[in-house]
Amino acid sequence: MVQDEQSYLMDSLRDPSNLMQPERLGALQQTPLSFTRILTRRMVDEQWKIDLREISLDEEGNGRARYSITTPSHEFSFPIFSQKISEEEKTDRITADTWDMWGFLCEGDPDREFVDWQFEELPSVRKGRATPEDVLIWTRGNRSSRFFDHIVESLVEGRQPDVDFLAKGGYLIRSSGYYGNGLNGTKVFEALGQDYPLNEPYLAQMLAAYMWRIFGYDLADAIAKERDDDAATLDYSVRKYLGTGNSSGMGIALFAVNHPKLIHTWLRTREVAVARVKTVKPTNDDVRQLTDILRKAEVWFSEDESDSKEFFLSKSRIADGLNSIRKSVERSNEISTWEDVSSWTEDNFEPEIQEILYSLLMDTHPNVYEGLESALITSEKSDVQPGMTVSRLRSIICSDYQWALDIDMSEPGASENFWYRSVNGEEPRLGKKGESDAEEYALPVDIAFQVQRLENELRSFAGADTVADVLFEHPEYRYLVERIQSVHGLPYAEIRGNLLDADFIPLHLVALVKSFWGIQKTHPANKGWVKGTFFQGAPLPEDIRHGEGSYWLYPPRPKQARKSEVKQ
């Protein structure tokens, strides 16, 4: 990046006092810098080969399968153990020990003994062990009871499924939240190396999610054939349209709070691309390309029948907003830079519509994000600076955490809730103070309240005293002081909200993280739990091996596939 661009970006990146509000963060959308998008580009550009090496399933889907994934530099395998469980056994909780299917992504071509060993370990979500030399990710998934069964029944009858019905969800298999590398003894991220094909954050997890998409099709076809030799196979257009489902809850919100350096890195990288694209003076071809994909996005959202509830902007409102932007662009005689369109959109439409526009502008100009993938990696190491003076620490708090000091914790409802981790499910929960025995196990995620208490304690120390003096008397503040010191100078690190407030909506932070993952559709169930879809419209293995990866976002609903003659 040239010095002039560096100076411009320093001035043009969005103000964190606005962007870092939870409600604003919840409006973020997938972009070309989301991990599913990075992975898909890499697979297509390098023409990865994904092959089904073996599949042995009965008419209920019990059995095994194994895929090979060949890149220019590495070979991976994705073995799967499949079973049919009852609907009562499905919870989609990340710590559940019963799933329709288990899988693992590993290097090389594992022998039968190794696969057997991993399938014995996989159900032990908390205690099972992988091997760091070979295994990258453990993963699991459940069939969609509505959509999967409908597809199998349709194929057995010799016809294609009802596309309009499938569009209500957009997936056959769904997985839960994604663990980081290193869990259960899997290979740690730092060991991957610069030339590794999965060397950006969450690419291994997203590849596993993509493989569940592919297995869903093969599983449905295999079950249908087991039930009737004359069963149809799932049409290409239907397979292309469907993606991978995902279900995530409040644990993702805590991830956002507990990884401030990572959040800053991901957000700043994204904001650099947004700032760059606003400076572009579009050609007539650029304008035509933007209006084309605006039209696709408009149709996509108008066809989405999911209920956004009160947590997100309605899909119909998004469709109407995109329609207005498209017509405005088409009517414009001259657009000096995309900043003109961006400013008009910011003045007239809600944040979610604004963020979709930024994503579409980046899609129109790939050069604005080229080379930024490597900037998504950061070190989260930190330590206390014991020699820092109290005067300096208070100065940092005043400059970086004024937002926290301004929150009135005495307001009704401001400190109504607390966060804890349940013993049984090992998952985060929200409790109401004074109504739960779990309050003594509250998690330290109330950053704003902690900062207020620390700042109050610091007043009793002289300015020349050191952090070491403070922590000697108040060791309970060590984590907070270390956090304040380590994220100083990182404007997008701290989420500027009160997580204890009765009105706080965890779903906003869940949406933030899932925008980085690359979520497309979202179906909120409540304020802390959402289902969604990845890879809907993404190229299939037969496309990838030939390097065919045309613009796949916002795929149109396929025309009802031709119905073959139903068997008599």
Whether 552 shows a pLDDT value over 90: the answer reads: yes
Q: Is residue 213 part of a domain?
A: yes
Task: Tell me what pLDDT residue 182 has.
Answer: 86
Whether 87 shows a pLDDT value over 70: the answer reads: yes
Looking at the structure, tell me whether residues 267 and 236 fall in a common domain.
no
Whether 259 shows a pLDDT value over 90: the answer reads: yes
Q: At 432, which amino acid appears? A: K
pLDDT band at 8 (very low <50, low <70, confident <90, very high): low
Q: Are residues 296 and 556 in contact, defined by beta-carbon separation less than 8 angstroms? A: yes
234: nearest Cα among 142, 147, 293: 147
The average confidence (pLDDT) of the chain is: 93
Looking at the structure, tell me whether residues 57 and 155 fall in a common domain.
yes
Whether 138 shows a pLDDT value over 80: the answer reads: yes
Q: Are residues 109 and 68 in contact, defined by beta-carbon separation less than 8 angstroms? A: yes
* Tally of CB atoms within 10 A around 113: 8
* Tally of CB atoms within 10 A around 372: 18
Query: The tokens of 514 are what?
Result: 């899932």
pTM to 2 decimals? 0.94
Q: Is residue 563 part of a domain?
A: no
Task: Tell me what pLDDT residue 121 has.
Answer: 93
CA dist list (Å): 406 to 38, 390, 444, 539: 39, 21, 19, 49
Residue the block writes with tokens 């304040």: 484
Least confident of 32-46, 75-89, 369-383, 416-430: 416-430
Q: Is residue 384 part of a domain?
A: no
Question: pLDDT: is 528 or 57 the higher one?
Answer: 57
Q: Are residues 242 and 166 in contact, defined by beta-carbon separation less than 8 angstroms? A: yes
pLDDT band at 181 (very low <50, low <70, confident <90, very high): confident
- Mean pLDDT value of segment 386-397: 98
Q: Is residue 55 part of a domain?
A: yes
Looking at the structure, tell me whether residues 102 and 199 fall in a common domain.
yes
553: nearest Cα among 568, 527, 565, 535: 535
Task: Tell me what pLDDT residue 4 has.
Answer: 56
**What CA–CA distance (Å, rounded) separates 213 from 534?**
9
497: nearest Cα among 489, 487, 506: 506
Looking at the structure, tell me whether residues 115 and 250 fall in a common domain.
yes
Task: Tell me what pLDDT residue 483 has.
Answer: 98
Specify the pairing of strand 243-248 against strand 171-175: parallel
Give tens-digit pLDDT for 194-250: 889 999 999 999 999 999 999 999 999 999 999 999 999 999 999 999 999 998 888
Looking at the structure, tell me whether residues 90 and 229 fall in a common domain.
yes
42: nearest Cα among 274, 203, 180: 203
β-partners of residue 143 are 173
Residue the block writes with tokens 């405005």: 328
Q: Is residue 71 part of a domain?
A: yes
For 141, phi and psi rounded to 5 degrees? Answer: -155, 165
Cα atoms found within 13 Å of the Cα of residue 319, Cβ hemisphere only: 13
Whether 93 shows a pLDDT value over 80: the answer reads: no
How many folded domains does the chain comprise? 3
pLDDT band at 90 (very low <50, low <70, confident <90, very high): confident
Residue the block writes with tokens 């489902």: 245
- Mean pLDDT value of segment 337-342: 97
Looking at the structure, tell me whether residues 262 and 250 fall in a common domain.
no
pLDDT band at 562 (very low <50, low <70, confident <90, very high): very low
Task: Tell me what pLDDT residue 563 has.
Answer: 44
Whether 535 shows a pLDDT value over 90: the answer reads: yes
- Note down the domain range covering 50: 35-255+534-544
Cα atoms found within 13 Å of the Cα of residue 413, Cβ hemisphere only: 4
pLDDT band at 425 (very low <50, low <70, confident <90, very high): low
- Mean pLDDT value of segment 384-408: 98
**What CA–CA distance (Å, rounded) separates 185 from 134?**
10
Give tens-digit pLDDT for 361-385: 999 999 999 999 999 999 999 999 9
Looking at the structure, tell me whether residues 231 and 363 fall in a common domain.
no
Task: Tell me what pLDDT residue 566 has.
Answer: 35
**What CA–CA distance (Å, rounded) separates 155 from 564?**
10
Whether 47 shows a pLDDT value over 80: the answer reads: yes
Looking at the structure, tell me whether residues 480 and 418 fall in a common domain.
yes
**What CA–CA distance (Å, rounded) separates 259 from 253?**
10
Query: The tokens of 453 are what?
Result: 């208490």
Task: Tell me what pLDDT residue 1 has.
Answer: 47
Distance in Å from the first CA to the final CA of the chain: 67
- Mean pLDDT value of segment 144-168: 94
Looking at the structure, tell me whether residues 291 and 354 fall in a common domain.
yes
Task: Tell me what pLDDT residue 10 has.
Answer: 62
Q: Is residue 434 part of a domain?
A: yes
Task: Tell me what pLDDT residue 272 has.
Answer: 97
Whether 186 shows a pLDDT value over 70: the answer reads: yes
Looking at the structure, tell me whether residues 338 and 481 fall in a common domain.
no
Q: Is residue 492 part of a domain?
A: no
Cα atoms found within 13 Å of the Cα of residue 470, Cβ hemisphere only: 32
β-partners of residue 532 are 246, 522
Q: Where are the alpha helices (DSSP H) in 365-446?
A: 390-400, 402-405
Q: Is residue 521 part of a domain?
A: no
Looking at the structure, tell me whether residues 200 and 268 fall in a common domain.
no
Whether 429 shows a pLDDT value over 50: the answer reads: yes
**What CA–CA distance (Å, rounded) separates 17 from 79?**
46
Looking at the structure, tell me whether residues 217 and 238 fall in a common domain.
yes
Give tens-digit pLDDT for 455-512: 999 999 999 999 999 999 999 999 999 999 999 999 999 999 999 999 999 999 999 9
For 15, phi and psi rounded to 5 degrees? Answer: -65, 120
Give CA 389 to chain center in angstroms.
Answer: 40
